[in-house]
Amino acid sequence: MKITYIHQYFNTPSMPGSTRSYEMARRLVAKGHHVTMVTSWREGNGFKGWNVTDESGITVHWLHVPYSNNLNFKDRLISFFKFALFSSIRATSLQSEIIFATSTPLTIAIPGVFSSWIRKVPLVFEVRDLWPQIPIAMGVLKHPLLITFARALESWAYRNSSAVVALSPGMKQAIVKSGYSPSRVVVIPNSSDNKEFVCDPESSNQFRSSRPWLCDRPLLIYAGTFGLVNGLGYIVDLAKELLSLGSEIQILLVGDGSELNSILNKARFAGVLQKNFFVEESMAKNQIPILFSAATICSCLFIDLPDMQSNSANKFFDALAAGKPVFLNFGGWMHDLVLEHHCGISGWRRSLQDVARELDQRMHDSEWLDTAGRSAKTIAEENFDRDLLASKLEKVLIAAAEGRVHVSDQSPSIYS
C-alpha cells in the first residue's frame, strides 16, 4: 500500500524530539508498504525549498520552514500556514492509496484533507494533543475569530476523515463528544521502544562519572520541552524543598524551549542552580537511552489543567521502556496507571513538602526502586510495545483504504 504520511515535526533518531512518526513509518515499510513522509526542516539554515532523503526506507520530503518553541505566536502561525500551503501542493502530487496526517499543529488537517480530495483516497487523521482546547484553556489562543476558526478546522478535519487515531482515552472522548462516530476512533497511545531503552550499566557509569556533581547520588531527570504547558517552575520549587531537607537527590533537566531562561532565572533566585538543580542542552533521541540508564527516577510534568490530563507524553513511555519509576505531577489516565501498577510516584494535588519527603525516601530505597522499575518494564512490554501498536495502526490504515466504515478498537483495559 502506498501511504502519504504528513507530519510537520517529523524527527529521525539523530534529531532531538519525538520519533513516533519515524518509528511507525519504518515499521510500515518493514511490512511491505511504501511510505512517503511530508515534513519540515526546522533549522534556520541549510537548503531552501524541498529536499528528499531516504530514512530507513522512508522517502522523506523536507520543506524548509524554520520553527522553534522560542518563536512568538504570530511567527508560529506563519510557520504553520506556510507548511500547510506548500505541503498541500507536494502531497497532492504524490501517488497514494491512503493519506495519514498527524497533528499538531491542527493546520496539518489542511494538506491532509486537500490531498485526500484531489487524490480521491481516504484520510486517517491522528490527534496527538487536544487542539484547540489546550491553547484556549491556557489563554494562548484568545481572539474570538481565531478560536472560531480553530474549532471549525477541527470539525472539518474529523468530518473529512475515514478514521481518527487518538493518543489517549481522554482524547477519544473529546473527539466523540464533538459528534464523530466512536466506531471510527481508535486509541493508539505513544509507545515504548523496549529494544532501544535497555539499561546499560557501563554507559550509565560513564554518564555519572563525567559529572562530578552527580557520581552515585540519586538522580531525578526531566527530558523534553521547556514550554509553558510543562510548568517546569514546579520542579525548581521541588529542588528547593529537597535542598532544605538536606537530600542528596540531584535534578537534571535536558532540553530546550521558550521557558528555558525563565527556569534558569528562577533556579538562580531559589538558590538551587548548580547545587542540586542542573540543566543541559537537548540530546538526539538515540542518546536518550543513556540518560535514562543513568536516572533513578524519570519525570513527566505538566501544568494542572483538565485538558492536559489526556496527554500521551513520549517521556512517560520512554521511562517505562527503560524500566524506571515515573514521577508525575498531574492527574488523568497516566496518573491512574502509575498508582494502580505501583510503578512510580504522583505529586498531583499534594504539597511540595510531602512530595519531597516521599521522593527522598523512595529514591534511597533500592528494593522499592527495583520493584517499581520491574512493574514499569512489564507494562511497557505487555501494553505499549511499539511493534504491537504499529501493527494496530497498520490495521486502521488498511481498513480505511478498503473503505470499511467501522474500525475495530480492541484497546486493552489498561488505557481504554
What is the secondary structure of 243-264 as a DSSP string? HHHT---EEEEEEE-TTHHHHH
Given a cut of 70, is residue 405 above it in pLDDT?
A: no
Q: 221 is written with which cell numbers?
A: 531527570
Q: b/e per residue, 395-404, with b = 16+ CB within 10 A?
A: ebbebbbeee
Q: Please, are residues 346 and 339 in contact by the beta-carbon 8 Å criterion?
A: yes
Instruction: Report how far residue 217's alpha carbon sits from residue 294's, in angstroms, rounded to the nearest whole number.
Output: 10
Pairing verdict, β 344-346 and 326-328: parallel
Instruction: Report how far residue 270's alpha carbon sits from residue 250's, in angstroms, rounded to the nearest whole number.
Output: 15
Given a cut of 70, is residue 410 above it in pLDDT?
A: no
Work out the average pLDDT over 374-399. 96
Q: 49-82, pLDDT tens digit by residue?
A: 899 999 999 999 999 987 777 677 777 778 888 9
Given a cut of 70, is residue 222 above it in pLDDT?
A: yes
Instruction: Report how far residue 118's alpha carbon sits from residue 200's, in angstroms, rounded to the nearest whole number.
Output: 49
- Of the candidates 81, 71, 5, the one whose C-alpha atom is nearest the C-alpha of residue 38 is 5
Could you tell me the domains of the chain?
2-191+385-401 (3.40.50.2000), 201-383 (3.40.50.2000)
Residues recorded for the chain: 416
H or E element, residue 85:
helix 73-92
Q: What pTM was computed for the model?
A: 0.93
H or E element, residue 356:
helix 352-362
Q: Could you give the percent of the chain with pLDDT greater than 90? A: 79
Q: 235-264, pLDDT tens digit by residue?
A: 999 999 999 999 999 999 999 998 999 999
Given a cut of 70, is residue 46 above it in pLDDT?
A: no
| Mean per-residue pLDDT of the chain | 93
Residue 130: predicted pLDDT: 82
H or E element, residue 328:
strand 326-328
Q: 331-372, pLDDT tens digit by residue?
A: 999 999 999 999 999 999 999 999 999 999 999 999 999 999
Instruction: Report how far residue 297's alpha carbon sits from residue 23's, in angstroms, rounded to the nearest whole number.
Output: 25
SS3 content of the chain, % helix, strand, coil (to 5): 45, 20, 35
